[in-house]
Structure 1
């Protein structure tokens, strides 16, 4: 078997060496030493990292398509996405400047770009069922894009020592980025246009990132950020499960209209008709007589 694994095509060998390194490639692939726990753990971490980077490149695409197809950002918190984008950008700059392996943070590059577009779409499209936009929508989008550009330039030229407190700040940023969305879901009893695929993918990505960070990087700040993000994404996942298929309660500003209901003739209550006179009853009829007749006496006749 080793005769085959040691003579694999050059492009397969180069790819394997670029991912797991020469030592682990020779140990696991060429010599088939499956008892090398360190290389197995390292190779598993590398495989998960590459998978997360590839998955991160399309993770927010369903969310983008949902907003564009519905032409509405109903149920999506602008504050949540703006803070989440900032946290992704800080982690990206911190990891790049500290020369971490790209497989341990590469998805942050794609998530930052995708989140930036989603944030601009939330600003552009209305958050309610109405499709009318304010005349200043284009100005707000342009202003937000300019601010994002300035922040990106700042992260590139900031000294490495200044990025450490910023990375520490991603912990409260993660909390504040998810809390508005969690609160909005709870209030409306709906998740609106929030993508279930993105939420589930983030849960799986955070779990994998905890393993890869502990294996390859060992940075406690980065690990703490992923642990907090995992807990908050699990809360969002539970909300997706509870509120699945429920429409948003969007009754703010609506005035109930009272309609007059015509009275049904069948329901109209009439006074009861007089009961007929029983045949056994005796009715006395008095017939007045002229005072001239019979000396002016009045005669009475009984009718049985």
Structure 2
């Protein structure tokens, strides 16, 4: 059966059907379901859609500008944070896939996991370049560049492929279910290494400002959708334990994402002030 939204769009495109009547019917349905619930569902779908490219600005920071700048970005990113985040995405996607949950419910994690994996590979490569373990790419032919990149990434690629095979094919469902329970606390813990690294470096230039802002907005959306589910179940006098846990987790995630964004803003201002002071001293 076609989606109600698709059906409405088809009716709106039909020249023999009154657009006003269709829109009135649609509005009546929205009010019957609940405006808050409809908005929450639309925001959830929007979050999944935006996730398909939300890490691209961070990936670009590792691909554009000079090689030295890429190395600087790679050294500023926390592999611990990225790895925990990617593990969470893999577990969450595996759990939902095994339980035949609609893709819209876990597509966000699946797409973020792929983008995180790309970032991890780039960070590993440029750290290897910085350590002198592989030759720099400047001046090399395309085939030599590809050979150098693949050679340096053999180990992390093997770990990633092995992890995907284990969690999707080998791991017992009860293990996946247990790790899924730990999804929120692990995602929260994943933020601390990057916060610590930013504090130590006194800069957050290695992080994409677009990604930081998007993470805060995404967390806000998840808090809203979780609160909507919580309120709905509470009104129906049903158990709200799961929703309370999710709401607490997403709220904590919002706080930590806000701290990362705050670090970016504060350190950026401090950096500009230092540059201005140096110019005045000159």
Q: 2:167 aligns with which of 155, 161, 166?
A: 155
Cα distance in 1 for residues equivalent to 2:131 and 2:179 = 38
Cα distance in 1 for residues equivalent to 2:209 and 2:6 = 41
Larger proportion of helix? 2
Asked whether the 8 Å contact 1:45–1:212 carries over to 2, the reply is yes
In structure 1, list runs of 5 or more residues that go unmatched. 1-7, 16-25, 248-304
Matched, 1:134 2:129: no
Q: Deviations over 1:126-161 (max 9, x none)?
A: 39xx85641397555211111111211222233433
Q: 1:62 aligns with which of 47, 57, 61?
A: 57
Which residue pairs with 2:157 in the alignment? 145
Which residue pairs with 1:236 in the alignment? 260
Cα distance in 2 for residues equivalent to 1:115 and 1:124 = 14
Shift of 1:167: 1.5
- Count, aligned residues: 228
Asked whether the 8 Å contact 2:205–2:264 carries over to 1, the reply is no
In structure 2, list runs of 5 or more residues that go unmatched. 13-20, 136-148, 231-239, 272-282
Cα distance in 2 for residues equivalent to 1:29 and 1:163 = 45
Change (3 A) 1:44 1:161: same
Asked whether the 8 Å contact 2:79–2:120 carries over to 1, the reply is yes
Shift of 1:99: 3.6
Change (3 A) 1:31 1:10: closer
Shift of 1:214: 5.1
Asked whether the 8 Å contact 1:28–1:34 carries over to 2, the reply is no
Cα distance in 1 for residues equivalent to 2:50 and 2:60 = 16
| Matched position secondary structure for 1:41 | helix
Which residue pairs with 1:85 in the alignment? 86
Matched, 1:171 2:173: no
Change (3 A) 1:131 1:162: closer
Higher relative contact order (CA 8 A, sep 6+): 2
Which residue pairs with 1:48 in the alignment? 43
Q: 1:200 aligns with which of 204, 209, 213?
A: 213
Cα distance in 2 for residues equivalent to 1:155 and 1:214 = 30
Which residue pairs with 1:291 in the alignment? none
Cα distance in 1 for residues equivalent to 2:166 and 2:257 = 29
Shift of 1:225: 3.9
Which residue pairs with 2:17 in the alignment? none
Shift of 1:166: 0.2
Which residue pairs with 2:98 in the alignment? 97
Change (3 A) 1:37 1:208: farther
Matched, 1:39 2:52: no
Which residue pairs with 1:3 in the alignment? none
Question: C-alpha root-mean-square deviation of aligned residues, in Å?
Answer: 3.3
Cα distance in 2 for residues equivalent to 1:61 and 1:190 = 21
Question: TM-score, normalised to structure 2's length?
Answer: 0.69
Shift of 1:55: 0.9
Q: 2:198 aligns with which of 185, 188, 194?
A: 185
| Matched position secondary structure for 1:68 | coil
Change (3 A) 1:36 1:152: same
Asked whether the 8 Å contact 1:93–1:155 carries over to 2, the reply is yes
Cα distance in 1 for residues equivalent to 2:11 and 2:229 = 21
